[in-house]
């Protein structure tokens, strides 16, 4: 999953860093550092951190990988 933080909107409340310290960290008083590629198994923790942002500066994008049906997915017989 991919994270995007609007650093112009972020006010440094650090709620995200408190809830997901492996993903978000504060550098100084107001500067946020974060890992934009969070592991899927951290989804619940990251979702809580995103929801806790008082200014809604964090966007969570799920990796959208859809498998299109193809000939190898259909049960057909050529005999």
Give the pLDDT of residue 29.
76
Assign domain 2-63 to its CATH architecture.
Answer: 2-Layer Sandwich (3.30)
State the pLDDT at residue 44. 93
CB burial readout 32-43, b (16+ within 10 A) else e: bebeeebeeeee
Q: How many helices (H) and strands (E) does the chain have?
A: 2, 4
What gap in Å lies between CA 14 and CA 24, rounded to an integer?
A: 8
Tens of pLDDT along the chain (79 residues) come to 899 999 999 999 999 999 999 999 998 877 899 999 999 999 999 999 999 999 999 999 876 544 444 455 444 445 5
């Amino acid at each position: 999953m991919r994270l995007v933080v609007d650093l112009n909107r972020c006010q440094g409340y650090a709620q995200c860093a408190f809830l997901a310290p492996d993903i978000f960290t504060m550098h100084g008083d107001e500067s946020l550092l974060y890992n934009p590629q969070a592991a899927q198994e951290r989804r619940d923790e990251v979702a809580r951190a995103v929801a806790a942002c008082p200014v809604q500066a964090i966007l969570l994008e799920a990796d959208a990988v859809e498998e299109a049906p193809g000939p190898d997915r259909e049960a057909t017989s050529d005999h």
